[in-house]
Amino acid sequence: MNDQKVKEKPKELILAKRLIDECKLDEADQLIKNFEEKGGHTLHDIVLCHLLKCELLYWQGLYKDVVKLAEKTYKESLELGKNLLSVDILLIMANALVWLAQLDKLHDVIKQGEELLKILTQEFPADYKQREAYIAFLKGWFFLSKGDADLALKQFELSLSLREELGAKPEITFSLVGIAWVFMFLNVNFDRALKFLERGMTIAEESGNKWCIGYVLNGMGFLHGSKGELDRSIMLHERSLTIFNDLNNKYMVAWILNLLGGRYNMRGELDRSIRFYEQSMALYKELNNKARMAGVFNNLSYGYKMRGELDRALECIEQALALHQEMGNSRYIAGLHDFLIQILIDRGDLERARISLRDFEQLNNQLKDKQINLIYLFDKALLLKTSHRARNRAKAEEILEQLLEEEDLAYEIKIGALLNLCELLLTELRITNDLEVLDELNQFIVRLLDIAEKSHSYSILCESLLIQAKLALISLNLEKAQKLLTQGQKIAEKYGFSPLARKISNEHDKLLKQLSMWENLKESEASLNERIELARLNEQMENMIRKRAIEVPELSDEEPVFILIVSEGGRPIFSQSFIEDQSFEDHLFGGFFTAINSFISEKFSEGLDRATFGEHTLLMNSVSPFLMCYVFKGQSYSAQIRIRYFIDKIKHDEPVWQTFKKFHQVNKEVQLKDIPSLEPLINEIFIRKTIHLNGLV
């Protein structure tokens, strides 16, 4: 068959293809330019050269240029008769359309390529199978973008099976990432998604293809970010960013910078987050990618809203809206109306918010999409809730409760609905002082905690624990409030939410200072309204609903007083005083030793980590077989960082740790002379304070 004859490829193009596969894109680009300048080529070689240019542009992230050149090259290829080159051009065009999210055109181009492949004879089965796998892979992305998990998975698995038969390692990697994406975004099974990404990483590293490695690293960063594991997510994104910077792939660099902006936003580091968004925006503007620019404008709007800069937030969301209106993306426009309405409500511009809701209603009626309708109803409830009229607020409550009955309600709306219901109940509680309302409020917070945990929304989980602690406080259950604060701080620290951890720690410190006041409230039978004011419950609820940035005091050094290491039974193993007055030290030690024993038996075993003793605070950390006690004046958070650093140092110094354990076994107390390195370590951490706290949070 004449359209399938093997044509000898020019050596320059064979080498250019090899260089592209090795991610040596600049060298490949120069070689292709030299080939074109030489001139005198057959139509077949011109088409092959243009196909390679499409590949080169694809790996550089210039997807619009890929589509433009591919459309021209496809027309050229038709003059050669029916051939695989035409199929390849259609498939590289379709792959670029995946990144441009042009689903209708993507569907048509895939279908066109599939139909052309079917009419070609299978003279070279491996070549045919390679294209068949590519088509299945592209169909997988199409169905993934449409939200059809079953069909997406079926196509990705078919592409994987065919590519494994061919032994094409980079392509195998992409199929594995596609499967991981289905589990991550549609089936929400992070463990299974991670297994496919890990397989993908192994094969990508075996292939040596830098683009593949960077792509999988970014996918793993996205996954860990979705799980709330922010430190690991940021590390993986940064590794990916380094690779794509080296490859000079501006699109991927812009994408990763945008993701990093999101991760730092989640951590509460808003200034840093906005800097990443702005860097991403600059690159997308250079690429003239309006869809991605609109996405970054939306993210910037969110960051400014959190920072309380509502005018700038409004300006950014309006720019995002204008871009999507220019492109005619109705679904995206509907989603932006949601955020626009919330910004306008926060600004107090309720009339304009109502106008935006009417525009949203028209879009909702046109789209007839269930998820869009649920968002519309949520925004309608938010506006009704701003009314001073009781019946409008009752209607808002009714809508929010109806939304919570929807099985497939997005978790962000569930959380928003629950928080707004809690605020409505809190208003009712202030008016009525009815304990039944308090019980209902507690039930909603329990639901909120459950959703936050299941959706890996750990910042919401921690802030919900803070609300739960304040509810325990107004119920005068002081010990429960302390336990919840301890729990919330530990989760915030585990997942890298440093400002939130500091905020919760400061709330705990305030509570300890006010314990006597709260104890007296039990006797005076103060009203619920008075207790709500003292607990600042309204403030916390409003901050969560408005998604405001977490404000915490600057870290300040505590004043060390005493370090005591005791056995788990309370027997002293080591002590170090930072006080020169011997009589005061003796008095202090006796008092604290009594307090520590009491704390171990009554509180620490039940989840509390600190207590007050006059103007001093006692921190307790368990490191089996010891309990590390630190007495100080000042902020607990800085003290916690310092004592943990001290514990980490001695525990991971094998000779030091073994000496402590040996003295413990023979019932002897460790002296500074027994461990020569101990005194300089204590001086460095607690006296000279050369440890930079911000680097340890």
3-state helix/strand/coil string of 479-507: HHHHHHHHHHHHHHHHCCCHHHHHHHHHH
Ordered structural domains, the chain, with CATH: 1-123 (1.25.40.10), 125-248 (1.25.40.10), 410-546 (no CATH), 559-695 (3.30.450.70)
DSSP secondary structure letters along 446-459? HHHHHHHHHTT-HH
**pLDDT value at position 405?**
93
**pLDDT value at position 594?**
63
For 666, list phi and psi in degrees, rounded to 5.
-100, 15
Nearest CA to 35 among 23, 53, 21, 62? Answer: 53
Q: How confident is the model at residue 335 (pLDDT cuts 50, 70, 90)?
A: confident
Mean pLDDT of all residues in the chain? 88
Residue 506 and residue 555 in contact, taking contact as beta carbons nearer than 8 Å = no
- CA atoms of 510 and 482, how far apart (whole Å): 11
7, pLDDT greater than 90: no
- CA atoms of 602 and 515, how far apart (whole Å): 17
Q: Check whether the bond before 625 is cis (ω within 30° of 0).
A: yes
Interacting residues of 471 by C-beta distance below 8 A, sequence separation 6+? 438, 441, 442, 445, 537
Nearest CA to 244 among 256, 258, 259, 231? Answer: 256
Question: Amino acid identity of 467?
Answer: I
Q: How confident is the model at residue 253 (pLDDT cuts 50, 70, 90)?
A: very high
- CA atoms of 251 and 420, how far apart (whole Å): 39
Token code pair at residue 347? 């600004």
2, pLDDT greater than 50: no
**pLDDT value at position 91?**
94
Nearest CA to 182 among 205, 148, 214, 159? Answer: 148
The Cβ of residue 647 has, within 10 Å, a number of other Cβ atoms equal to 17
Q: Compute the residue count for the chain.
A: 697
Range in 222-231, 488-497, 685-694 the model is least confident about: 685-694
Maximum average pLDDT range among 62-71, 234-243, 323-332 = 234-243
Number of H helices, E strands in the chain: 32, 5
551, pLDDT greater than 90: no
Residue 612 and residue 511 in contact, taking contact as beta carbons nearer than 8 Å = no
Q: How confident is the model at residue 632 (pLDDT cuts 50, 70, 90)?
A: very high
**pLDDT value at position 385?**
95
Range in 10-19, 50-59, 350-359, 597-606 the model is least confident about: 597-606
406, pLDDT greater than 50: yes
Range in 163-177, 325-339, 370-384, 650-664 the model is least confident about: 325-339
Token code pair at residue 672? 């500074």
Q: How confident is the model at residue 100 (pLDDT cuts 50, 70, 90)?
A: confident
How many Å is the maximal CA-CA distance in the chain?
104
- Give the E-state strand segments of 227-383 in sequence order: none
3-class secondary-structure state, position 536: coil
0.85 surpassed by pTM: no
Maximum average pLDDT range among 438-452, 564-578, 596-610 = 438-452
695, pLDDT greater than 50: no
Range in 38-42, 365-369, 637-641 the model is least confident about: 38-42
**Any alpha helices (H) in 208-229, and if so which ranges?**
210-226
Interacting residues of 355 by C-beta distance below 8 A, sequence separation 6+? none
3-class secondary-structure state, position 14: helix
276, pLDDT greater than 70: yes
Q: b/e map of 197-235 (b: 16 or more CB within 10 Å)? A: bebbbebbeebebbbbbbbbbbbbbbbbbbbbbbebbbe
Summarised one tens digit per residue, pLDDT across range 466-500 is 999 999 999 999 999 999 999 999 999 998 888 88
Q: Which helix (H) or strand (E) holds 307?
A: none
Interacting residues of 687 by C-beta distance below 8 A, sequence separation 6+? 560, 578
3, pLDDT greater than 80: no
- CA atoms of 28 and 247, how far apart (whole Å): 12
Interacting residues of 201 by C-beta distance below 8 A, sequence separation 6+? 213, 216, 217, 220
380, pLDDT greater than 70: yes
3-class secondary-structure state, position 227: coil
Interacting residues of 495 by C-beta distance below 8 A, sequence separation 6+? 228, 229, 230, 458, 459
Q: What percent of the chain has pLDDT over 70?
A: 93
Summarised one tens digit per residue, pLDDT across range 282-318 is 999 998 888 899 999 999 999 999 988 999 999 999 9
3-class secondary-structure state, position 147: coil
